């Protein structure tokens, strides 16, 4: 799960499964697990996009992230963004 402090600092909102379905379709059809991980670097400063990605990985974990490694990777990146924001 995303750290509560990270959620607060970055003002992350929960996203429903319905809200992220289109993003899931895009990710599932266009990205491999390695490409999903690489996409984090493309969206590195967009905490809303990363939050959306985390929710897609959470809801569709059986297809995209059964071992939870991608979600953990996104969580660590969001935590880093929160720390940067807190120190600035």
Cα–Cα distance measured from residue 5 to residue 64, given in angstroms and rounded to the nearest whole number: 26
- Determine contact, residues 27/51, Cβ cutoff 8 Å: no
For the segment 15-71, what is each residue's pLDDT rounded down to a tens digit? 999 999 999 999 888 888 888 888 888 888 999 999 999 999 999 999 889 999 999
0.85 cut: is pTM over it?
yes
What is the pLDDT at residue 19?
95
Contacts of 39 (CB under 8 A, 6+ apart): 31, 53
What is the pLDDT at residue 36?
87
């Amino acid at each position: 799960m995303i750290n509560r402090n990270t959620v607060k600092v970055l003002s992350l909102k929960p996203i429903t499964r319905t809200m992220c379905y289109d993003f899931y379709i895009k990710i599932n059809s266009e990205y491999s697990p390695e490409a999903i991980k690489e996409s984090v670097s493309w969206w590195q400063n967009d905490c809303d996009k990363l939050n959306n990605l985390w929710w897609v990985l959470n809801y569709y974990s059986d297809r995209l992230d059964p071992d939870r490694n991608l979600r953990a990777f996104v969580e660590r990146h969001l935590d880093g963004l929160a720390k940067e924001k807190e120190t600035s």
